Amino acid sequence: MRKITTIFGVPIDMVTLETAVDRFDVLFKKPDVSLIFTPNTEIVMKAKEDSQLKEALLGADMNIPDGIGLILASKIHKLGLKERVTGIDLMDRILNYCDNSKKSIYILGGKPGVAAKACANIKKKFTSIVIKGHCHGYFTEKDEIGIIDEINKLKPDILFVALGAPRQEKWIYKNRKLLDVKVAMGVGGSVDVWAGTVKRAPVIYQKLGLEWFYRLLKEPLRYKRMMALPKFMLKVIFSKNIS
């Protein structure tokens, strides 16, 4: 049974990594496409002003708490979130699921060549997984129907979409009724990590919830995006109710 809390109007599933995998298993067995998103503080803040993004998040079948700010907010307001669940960790577990059950995937997104590299590296680790195809994320709205037709023709079980937030969430939600897949998941920069073009933060940063800080050290120009976290925390601290 799904348990959620709400942070600034965005539903967040009260899951651990293990229970998120269990939830995925339930969603995979449903007849219609299921949507999985990975909101962090930046996405939650964007959803306050972006009605299309908020609609997509409201329509998701699971929104994992992929942001240390969400966990801190939950602790301050006693909302019941148990732990941070990152998109890349859940993606890894889903890939393992597909490997064990010989299910198939398709990756959409990233710069030209990135999805292909990611698929090659995934296949090296998960030798029994079936990779149906991939496509970069530099396409126009006119190209969408052709891409969707290709995906549906190949019939992958899982569609990983790495178009960056909020584009990937909006794209998945807009096309949810056209996609012939079991699960569509927004995975953002996870595909870059799998491709080897971006290095994930060391484990110590991951455990401390400081992956955002590691990225800032590596990419100082991200500081404008990172401002969402302190703004979010100020709202959390000075708001009586954040649901």
Q: Convert the pLDDT of each residue in 24-83 to its tens digit.
A: 999 999 999 999 999 999 999 999 999 999 999 999 999 999 999 999 999 999 999 999
Residue 102 has pLDDT above 80, yes or no: yes
Contact 24, 62 (CB under 8 A): yes
Instruction: Indicate the average pLDDT of the chain.
Output: 94
Structural Rg of the chain based on CA atoms: 17
Alpha carbons 240 and 236: distance in angstroms, whole number = 8
- Per-residue pLDDT band at 223 (split at 50, 70, 90): low
Q: Give residue-wise pLDDT tens across range 162-194.
A: 999 999 999 999 999 999 999 999 999 999 999
Locus of tokens 């927004």 = 186
Instruction: For residue range 153-167, list pLDDT tens digits in order.
Output: 999 999 999 999 999
Query: CA–CA separation, 217 vs 210, rounded Å?
Result: 11
| Cα distance between residue 211 and residue 225, in whole Å | 14
pTM: 0.95
- Do the beta carbons of residue 36 and residue 60 sit within 8 Å? yes
Q: Are 132 and 153 contacting, i.e. CB atoms less than 8 angstroms apart?
A: no
